[in-house]
């Protein structure tokens, strides 16, 4: 999934010469924690709620409330912003954005186009929304984890069984990470299987794969088949 479809837009920005107080007001009014900083329309920094708190706390203990208000009205965004901006391209995938954010330990990043122009912001919240979308969690169906021998058609064999029970697939995720050699971990989300038939379905699947766990998100029922 490309960032362009999940980023927050239109972009709310703050000018380099705006006051810290103006930036704080923008964040509060728009319920955001990250502001790209521009100078004559060009991206020159990033301001987070952490930057605001750090700047406020530096002298807060020695000032009364009137002095503090005066201080934050005088401090410029350019004085406290982060100048080394980590950006992502709008045609990167959300996985690439998540990896970059983890590497740099940041909660979000400005998004740019081919011309380097600011076109959005991608945040942890946007990534969470994308994750919920791709996994189909909101459909409140079943989540089944299993280990399959890595042979042609192995996943479709399992899917065919689920469909025979009336199931509809919401998502299929597969990885070789943390799987034994020659096997793969598979994570299935499906809906529409009658709750009074789910145990029969699981019994059939036991003969075709090693089951890890099953979660019924509607009934909050959780079954662990092993401790791995």
Mean pLDDT of 198-224: 95
Q: Is the pLDDT of residue 63 over 60?
A: no
> Which CATH number among 3.90.850.10, 3.20.20.140, 3.10.580.10, 2.40.128.690 corresponds to the domain 3-132?
3.10.580.10
Task: Name, in order, each residue with C-beta under 8 angstroms of 203's C-beta and a sequence gap of 6 or more.
Answer: none
Q: Where are the domains of the chain?
A: 3-132, 136-224
pLDDT score of 145:
96
Cβ-in-10-Å burial (0-12, 13-18, 19+) of 201 comes to: buried
- Asked whether the predicted pLDDT for residue 228 surpasses 90, the reply is no
Taking residues 199-219, report their average pLDDT: 95
- Highest CATH level, class, for 136-224: alpha beta
Name the nearest CA neighbour of 80 among 39, 51, 109: 51
The structure tokens listed for 175 are 């990885």
Q: Do the Cβ atoms of 92 and 130 come closer than 8 Å?
A: no
Determine the average pLDDT of the residues in 4-19. 94
User: What average pLDDT does the segment 92-104 reach?
Assistant: 95
pLDDT above 60 (res 101) = yes
CA-to-CA distance for 214 and 132, rounded, in angstroms?
A: 18
- Mean of the pLDDT values across residues 26-44? 92
pTM exceeds 0.85:
no
Distance CA 119, CA 91 (A): 11
pLDDT above 60 (res 201): yes
Residue 136 pLDDT: 81
User: Of 110, 109, 93, which is closest to residue 101 (Cα–Cα)?
Assistant: 109
* pLDDT, tens digit (0-9, with 9 covering 90-100), for 138-197: 888 999 999 999 999 999 999 999 999 999 999 999 999 999 999 999 999 999 999 999
pLDDT of residue 226: 78
Give the separation between CA 31 and CA 122, rounded to whole angstroms: 15
């Amino acid at each position: 999934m490309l960032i362009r479809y999940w980023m927050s837009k239109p972009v709310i920005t703050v000018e380099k010469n705006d006051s810290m107080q103006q930036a704080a007001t923008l964040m509060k009014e728009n319920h955001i924690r990250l502001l790209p900083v521009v100078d004559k329309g060009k991206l020159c920094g990033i301001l987070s709620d952490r930057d605001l708190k750090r700047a406020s706390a530096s002298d807060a203990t020695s000032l009364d409330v009137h002095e503090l208000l005066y201080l934050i009205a005088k401090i410029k965004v350019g004085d406290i912003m982060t100048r080394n901006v980590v950006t992502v391209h709008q045609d990167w995938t959300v996985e690439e954005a998540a990896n970059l954010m983890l590497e740099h330990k940041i909660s979000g990043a400005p998004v740019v186009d081919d011309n380097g122009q600011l076109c959005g912001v991608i945040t942890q919240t946007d990534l969470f929304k994308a994750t919920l979308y791709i996994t189909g969690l909101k459909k409140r169906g079943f989540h089944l984890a299993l280990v399959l021998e890595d042979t042609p058609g192995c996943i479709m064999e399992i899917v065919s069984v689920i469909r025979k029970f009336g199931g509809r697939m919401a998502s299929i995720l597969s990885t070789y990470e943390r799987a034994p050699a020659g096997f793969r971990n598979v994570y299935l989300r499906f809906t529409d299987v009658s709750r009074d038939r789910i145990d029969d379905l699981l019994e059939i699947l036991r003969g075709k794969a090693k089951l890890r766990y099953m979660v019924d998100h509607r009934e909050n029922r959780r079954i662990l088949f092993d401790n791995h």
